[in-house]
Structure 1
C-alpha cells in the first residue's frame, strides 16, 4: 500500500528533528570547510537537482540526517544567490512511499536525480530505491510551488526498468528540447555501462527510446549519475563508471541524434584526475553558464571527519568551456569574492634541490588561493619544480604539488600530508606546456583542488593535516626553475 504524502511531511519533520539533535555532535570540528559546501551535520554524498530557479540557486544533495554513515537517502537542500553563500533549508525529500521506503529496511531511499523548472514550479526527478524489492529502482517525480515544500506525484513511479536493462537503474537527468522532455538514466546493458534514454511531454508519461550510448567494454560495468547536455554546437555526456580501470568520472564530447535517440562520442577524458572527485552534475544558470559541481570524496576512504560528526563535501563550482572541441573547466568568477589579503612574489630563482619559504609571516593557514607561474625554459630535461603545502613545523608532513619535467605530468602527492590523509599520488598529463606553466590551487581546511590555468587539467584531493601545519615552500628536485608572478590570497570563511 502506498503511504500518503502526509507521512512524507512527517518523515521530513523527524529528519529535521534528528539533525537538530545531531548538531551537538559536531564538536572540536577541526576540518569543517570554510568555503566548500557541506551538510550541516552527518552524511552527504552526490549533488542532486542542481538548478537556478527565479534567480535562486538550489543545491540538493544525497543526505542521511540520522548518522555520519551512509543510510536511507534523503534529499538535503540549500539555496544561494551567488554560489558561495548557502542557506540550509528543510529537507526536500524523505523516504515515505512504497517505491522508496520499507519499514525495517535500511537500504532504501530517495536516490540521486535532477531538477527542472516547470513554469513557476520546480520538479524533482529521482530514483526510488528499495533493496530486496523487484524492481529495486524506479523513477519518481515531486513538485513544489514555493521551491521548498515538495509533494510526490500520485502517478509515481513514472518509469520502471525496460526489458534488457539492468535492475541497477538510477540517477535520472532530465532536460528539455523544444516542447519535449528527455531523460537519461544510469544503468548497464549486457555487463557494460549504459544510459537508457526516455522522452515525455509532461514529465509523468515516458516512452523508452533505447540506449543513448553503451560502453565499449573498457568503461566499467555500470554508469552512475549520467548527464547529457548541449554546449556550443556539440553535446557532452558525463558518466561515473563503476569498476573501470583508471576511471572515475569521464566526460565525452560528440553529436546527439534526437530523432533516433543516439549519442555518438568523438572524444573522452577524465574530468578530474584526483581520487576525491565523483558524481559530477551540471546545470545552466541564468547567465547561460554550464556549471559543474561534484562530490569531493570517494567511497574508498575512511572519511576521517566522521569523528567530528559529519562526512562529505562538494567541490568548488566550475564553469564548463568547450573550445576548439576541447573541454575545459574554470572556477566560477564568484570565487574571487572570497579573496582577502594578497601577497605577491615577482621572481624566485631556485637552483636544484632548493626550497624557499613563501609564507614567512604565516599569513596563509588553511584557506587560500594561489596562482603560480613556473618558467620552464632552463629547467633541464629531468627533475621537478613545485610547491610544498601544509608543511608541519618539523618539515616531515607536507603535501606536494609539482610538475614532473621528464614525464610532463602535473602531480599531487599526499603520501606525507599527515593526519588521517589517504596517501595517494595523482598524475595528469600536461604535455608541451610551452615556456611557462601556470597553476592555480584552492586550499581549504581538508581539501586541495589544483588546476592548470587553462582549465584543461584538474586534480582534487582531500587531506587532513594538523591545524598547525601551515608552511608553504617553493621547491626544486634535480632541476633549475624560476617561479614568477606568484599571487596568494587568503580566503574568507562563508560556510557554517
Structure 2
C-alpha cells in the first residue's frame, strides 16, 4: 500500500524495468483541506518497489511549469514506456486555462533512468475538432490520460476524450493517436463511437487476458447515462472485451469490476507471471481516502465480477 500522511494520492501508473516497479502517482497536499481542490494542485510523485506491496518514495517526477505553458495549472494522469532508443518516455496530461478552464493536452517528458525527467514544452497531442469536442464547443476540452502501446509497427495512444455530438453522459469516447517515434503524433478518429452510456471512459489501459484484448476504463455514476444507472450503481472500474487491440470494443456490454470505493484500475504482471490488479481507495462513507491499495490477483477480480474471459 502507498499512503502519504501529508497528501492525497489518486491516479497512478507503473513502469516495470524487470528488476523494479516504478510507480508514478498524482498527489496534492492535504493542507488544501477541501479534497476537490486537489485536481488543480496535482503533481506527479514517484515510488519504487520490488513486490508491488512495499513502496519507497523517491524524488517527485514532475510538477507544473511556470506560466505560460500547457501544463501551468497541474500535471495529470499518464503512462511511461521505454523507446527503442533506450530512453523512457512519460506521457502525461498537462492542464491550463487556455482556452477554457482545465484544458487538457497530452505532454511528454524523457528520462535515461526514470529518476530525472526533461519536459518537451509543447503538447504532442490535442483534441482535433474534426472528431473531438473542444473549448470552442462551449464545454470542457478533454484529451487526457494517455495510454501508449505498440501494435502493427506503430505506437498507439488511447486518451480520454469527448465526441463533438451527444449528451454530456453519452459523449465519452476513447481518443486515438499514432506515432512512429514517440515524439511526433498524428491524432486519429476515436476507437469507440460514443452514445454508449458513458460521459467519459477515463484512465484507460489495454490488457490481454487469455490472448484476448480488453479495455479497462473508469467512470462514476455522475458521468453515466440515466439508462445505465440501474445496473451501474455508483460506477467505478469497468472492463470491455475487444476484437483486437485497436477495437472494436464492446462498450455496451462493459462489466463493472468495482464500485466507487476503488478507482483507476491498473493491471501489472508480477515476477511470478501472475497478473495483479491495483486501484486507489476512493470513497468510504462519503469521505475521500486517497491511497493506493495492495494488489490482488486480477483473475479473482474478473471471476467475482462474472467476466467470462474465454471467447
TM-score range, shorter chain: 0.7 to 0.9
**The one of 189, 214, 222 aligned to 1:210:** 189
- Report the TM-score when normalising by structure 2: 0.79
How is 1:293-304 mapped onto 2 (pairs within 5 angstroms)?
A: 293-298=278-283, 301-303=286-288
- Report the TM-score when normalising by structure 1: 0.51
Q: Classify 1:121/1:186 alpha carbon distance in 2 versus 1 (closer, same or farther; 3 Å).
A: same
**The one of 95, 101, 106 aligned to 1:129:** 95
Q: How far apart are 1:146 and its partner, in Å?
A: 1.6
CA distance in 1, matches of 2:260, 2:283: 7
- Between the two proteins, the alignment pairs up a number of residues equal to 274
CA distance in 1, matches of 2:3, 2:174: 29
Q: Classify 1:318/1:131 alpha carbon distance in 2 versus 1 (closer, same or farther; 3 Å).
A: farther
CA distance in 1, matches of 2:15, 2:126: 25
**The one of 65, 81, 93 aligned to 2:50:** 81
Q: Classify 1:174/1:286 alpha carbon distance in 2 versus 1 (closer, same or farther; 3 Å).
A: farther
Q: Classify 1:300/1:165 alpha carbon distance in 2 versus 1 (closer, same or farther; 3 Å).
A: farther
CA distance in 1, matches of 2:284, 2:189: 30
CA distance in 1, matches of 2:273, 2:173: 29
**The one of 235, 250, 266 aligned to 2:238:** 250
Identify the structure with bigger relative contact order (alpha carbons < 8 Å, sequence gap 6+): 1
RMSD: 2.6
Q: How far apart are 1:209 and its partner, in Å?
A: 2.8
CA distance in 2, matches of 1:298, 1:457: 23
Which residue of the partner structure matches residue 99 of structure 1? Answer: 70
Q: Which residues of structure 1 form unaligned runs of 5+? A: 1-35, 102-107, 304-310, 322-327, 331-453, 459-496
Q: How far apart are 1:314 and its partner, in Å?
A: 1.4
Q: Is the 8 A contact 2:83 2:182 kept in 1?
A: no
Q: Is 1:269 matched with 2:235? A: no
Q: How far apart are 1:110 and its partner, in Å?
A: 0.7
Q: Is the 8 A contact 2:105 2:142 kept in 1?
A: no
CA distance in 2, matches of 1:286, 1:202: 29
Q: Classify 1:91/1:66 alpha carbon distance in 2 versus 1 (closer, same or farther; 3 Å).
A: farther
How is 1:264-413 mapped onto 2 (pairs within 5 angstroms)?
A: 264-265=249-250, 267-272=253-258, 274-284=259-269, 288-298=273-283, 301-303=286-288, 311-321=289-299, 328-329=300-301
CA distance in 2, matches of 1:249, 1:207: 29
Partner of 1:175, secondary structure, is strand
Q: How far apart are 1:286 and its partner, in Å?
A: 5.7
Q: Is 1:157 matched with 2:123? A: yes
